[in-house]
Structure 1
Amino acid sequence: MRPAAIGIVLDRSQERVLIVKRRDIPGWVLPGGGIDPGETAEQAVVREILEETGYRVRVDRIAAHYTPINQIASPTTVFVCGLDSGAPALSTETTALGFYPLSGLPQPFFTLHQIWVEEAMAHPSTVIERPIREVTYGRVLLTLVQHPLLVCRYFLHRLCKT
C-alpha cells in the first residue's frame, strides 16, 4: 500500500480537532490520505486536508512515523497542523466535518486515529516512531464478522473508485 499522510488539525484554542465523516463507511476519521508520486508527506497532508475539508493548514510539526507490520496497513506520517484559512466544505469523500473537543470526539471514531491523537498530544516534543501493531489480520476478520455490511460497503466503494 502506498504511504499515507494524516493531519491532526487543531483549532486556535488547541482544544478541538478537525475530523471528517467518511462517505465509504459511516465513521469519523482524521483527514488525510495517500501520498502521490513526487509529493512529500507534508505536501500530501496539506493537499488532502484542503480537498477533504476546504481548510488551508500549515504543518506545525511531525508527530509520528508509523510503519506497518503486514500488508493491510500503510506507512503513515502523522502531522500536527494549524488552521490558516478557508471554510468548511464537504468533498466526494466526506459527508460531515467539524472541530470537536479532544476529550469528546463523536462516535464511531476510528480507533487507530484516536490512539494517534492521544500519542501526539502526550508527546508534543517527540517524533514517535513505532510499528502499527493495532492493524492485524485477526482484527480485520473480527470486524468482518461483527460488521459484515460495513466491510462490504467499504470494499465496494474502493472497487468503484478504481
Structure 2
Amino acid sequence: MPMSTYVQSIRDRIGHDFLLLPGVTAVIRDGERFLLARHAATELWSLIGGGIEPGEEPSEALRREVLEETGAEIRILRLVGAYGGDSLAAETPNGDRVGYVTIAYECELLGPAAPDMDELVELAWFDRDAIPALARHEWIDRVVADAE
C-alpha cells in the first residue's frame, strides 16, 4: 500500500529523518496456531497490521488493515500489549528512517482470508514452535509469547 497522505505530508517536511509512527497488530490465532503473512517488500513473515490514521481509533485501524490485507473481518478479543523500540525500527529502501509503536490485539478471524497480493504474497497458519525457524520480523516473537 502506498504511503498515507498524512505520512507523505510529514516526509515532505522532514525528508528521510527518523519518524515515529503508531500502528496496530492482529494476533489471529486458532488454538496454538497463528496466522502470519509474508510481506512482498521484505519476503519476511510477520503478523498482520499497519498504521493508524489521524482521528482513527486503534481498534478501527486494526479492522481496516486486516480487511485491506486479507479481505476478512475480525472480532477483537483482547489487548495483548504495546511494543516499540529498536526491533521495530527500520530504514526503507528509499532511505526513510522509521520506527513503530504498535498495539497488539488478539483477534478471531470471521471468514476466509487471502493475501491482497500487493502488500502480502502469502498467508499461512503456523504452530507457535515453528515460528522461530521462519525468516521473520523477530519482534513478533515477543508478541506471540505474550499472547499466552
Aligned to 1:53: 70
2-structure distance, mates of 1:67, 1:109? 17
Deviation at 1:68, TM superposition (A): 3.9
**In 2, are the aligned partners of 1:88 and 1:97 still within 8 Å (CA)?**
yes
1-structure distance, mates of 2:85, 2:127? 29
Aligned to 1:5: 24
Aligned to 1:20: 37
Give the TM-score of the pair, scaled to structure 2. 0.72
Deviation at 1:77, TM superposition (A): 0.4
SS across alignment from 1:86: coil
1-structure distance, mates of 2:129, 2:122? 19
2-structure distance, mates of 1:60, 1:108? 28
Change (3 A) 1:27 1:62: same
Deviates more, 1:84-93 or 1:18-27: 84-93
Percent identity over the alignment? 28
2-structure distance, mates of 1:2, 1:115? 19
Aligned to 2:102: 76
2-structure distance, mates of 1:6, 1:15? 18
Give unpaired runs (5+ residues) of structure 2.
1-19, 90-96
Change (3 A) 1:107 1:67: closer
Change (3 A) 1:68 1:21: same
Question: As a proportion of its length, which structure holds more strand?
Answer: 2
Give unpaired runs (5+ residues) of structure 1.
122-162
- 1:108 counterpart letter in structure 2: A
Aligned to 2:111: 85
2-structure distance, mates of 1:96, 1:86? 14
Deviation at 1:28, TM superposition (A): 0.2
Q: Which has the higher contact order (CA 8 A, sep 6+)?
A: 2
SS across alignment from 2:144: helix
After TM superposition, what 4+ stretches of structure 1 lie above 6 angstroms from structure 2? none
- 2:60 counterpart letter in structure 1: Q
2-structure distance, mates of 1:109, 1:87? 20
2-structure distance, mates of 1:90, 1:98? 13
**In 2, are the aligned partners of 1:20 and 1:30 still within 8 Å (CA)?**
yes
**In 2, are the aligned partners of 1:19 and 1:100 still within 8 Å (CA)?**
yes
2-structure distance, mates of 1:116, 1:108? 16
**In 2, are the aligned partners of 1:22 and 1:29 still within 8 Å (CA)?**
yes
Q: Within the alignment, does 1:112 sit opposite 2:129 as a pair?
A: no
